[in-house]
Amino acid sequence: MNRGARKPGRLVVVSNRVALPQQTSTGGLASAMQAALRERGGLWFGWSGKVSGNRELHQHTDGPIDYATIDLSRTDHDDFYAGFANSTLWPLLHYRPDLVDYQREHLDGYLRVNELFAEHLVKLLKPSDILWVHDYHLIPLAAMLRARGVRNRIGFFLHTPLPAAALLIALPQHRALLETLASYDLIGLHSARDLRALEDYFLHEAGGAMRPGGGLRAASGRSFRAGVFPISIDTALVAKTARAAEAHEEIGQLRKSLEGRSLIIGVDRLDYSKGLAQRFMAYAHLLEREPELHRRITFLQIAPPSRGAVPEYRQIRRELERMAGHINGMYAAPDWAPIRYVNQSFPHSLLTGYYRHARVGLVTPLRDGMNLVAKEYVASQNPKDPGVLILSRFAGAAFELSDALLVNPADTAEVADALERALKMPLKERRQRWRSMMDVLERRDITVWRNAFLDALAATPAPARMTQPASAAASQITLAKRPLDEPSPRYE
């Protein structure tokens, strides 16, 4: 074992969005990162969330945590965030090659912003720091840092699914971009399916090899490790928050408005990957075929809009408004609306109360890296009278929550059947299913997740010294310039 593994240095978290301490509505990942940063002292670096012409680094400190953020220019935001990250990579990673919009200038913007991150970050790093980079926005960041001479251990966690190699190769210049993943020391993925896809890609599309002691060697010769680390929630805290939420006025109001009807709940960022249109169709199918359920159930779908700069998001929003209106038009009575469709976000504490009050949690993404709503729904339940989780087989959470009613979200009849079964499920079965899922969540919570990743990262061999000059110019990844099929160096 090397010396670095024994003495944990400062943790440096890098992500596109940074949960600044003054922002109150931070989610599970943000609290997990904050807890880790508080424990060992650290720095959180990323985009400020602002679009401006200001190129300065914003820095401030809150106890043991330093925050450093940068604004993005309008062009960088449009090319990097709305463009390559969310119009090219996001649909590809969610198995939607039909929606991939690839534009050279978006890729240039993506690389430009990653270079900008690297340029600022390198000045803030200490030799003993351990870096943890998050998500698809920052795939080439480690390569750009390495080119600047950074030898620290760098881990990467992908919060989305990783599709099969056969899909990844649909991305123009995929190899030049994806091979930069080899500059990380450890790559964390949510599920064994994602890990298989990564290995398959490196072995069969990128000239890599499996190493005898585990791990992968890229065609460049650099070795790295990859592993499955299913992200989780702060299970005990969610359960406590949900119990406390029962006293909230808003929960009382919801309960009263239901007039004894069973609540079905869905909570999702408004995104085409969440399968909302298919979910609405399944609900309509249930209403069509089970008239005796009319007036006895209410479906509350909370869907805060996101990424409005991307046309597909505006389109799905219009489509869902139309569908919700249509279903209510078809089935509503003067004193009953079958769907309550709400484009608004709510404080986390209130959501846990809504989950606790819902007889059914309907979580049916077409693809999802993990889906923490599924886990939070389970953790929020009243152990004496728990609700039933209906979960898409294509969410990472399905690997762990196998006692949910697992469905194919595209199969409207199957989802309608699951809804009916959940609404009629006897208490004994509900309790058994809930207990076994809750056991998993109690055993593997968010703290277990982050410690598992950080321990595995600390145990990776120390990165070798760079043999190349570390000038900024040398770090320019030449994605746009090299001929497509030529195995090329990653740096000029």
Contacts with ligand F6P, residue ranges (CB under 6 A): 17, 135, 159-160, 306-307, 369
The owner of tokens 């998993």 is 440
CB of 110 to ligand F6P, least distance (A): 14
Compare residues 17 and 430 and give the one whose CB is closer to ligand F6P: 17
CB of 258 to ligand F6P, least distance (A): 29
Compare residues 163 and 369 and give the one whose CB is closer to ligand F6P: 369
Compare residues 110 and 491 and give the one whose CB is closer to ligand F6P: 110
**Residue with smallest beta-carbon separation from ligand F6P:** 159
Cα separation, 475 vs 436, in Å, equals: 49
Which position among 77, 94, 159, 348 bears the catalytic label? 159
CB of 72 to ligand F6P, least distance (A): 12
159 is catalytic: yes
Compare residues 190 and 225 and give the one whose CB is closer to ligand F6P: 190
Q: Which of 38, 52, 37, 210 is CA-nearest to residue 131?
A: 37
Q: Is 90 helix (H, G, I), strand (E, B) or coil?
A: helix
Compare residues 273 and 352 and give the one whose CB is closer to ligand F6P: 273
Cα separation, 58 vs 53, in Å, equals: 13
CB of 158 to ligand F6P, least distance (A): 8
For residue 207, the tally of other CB atoms under 10 A from its CB is 14
> Hey, what long-range contacts does 82-89 have (CB within 8 A, 24 or more apart)?
82/307, 82/309, 82/310, 83/109, 83/110, 84/109, 84/110, 85/16, 85/110, 85/136, 85/137, 86/307, 86/310, 87/310, 87/312, 88/171, 89/136, 89/139, 89/171
Question: Quick one: which H or E segment has residue 195?
Answer: helix 192-204
The owner of tokens 């279903």 is 327
Angle (deg, nearest 10), helices 235-245 and 372-379: 60
Which position among 71, 79, 368, 403 bears the catalytic label? 368
CB of 360 to ligand F6P, least distance (A): 23
Write out the catalytic residue numbers.
159, 368
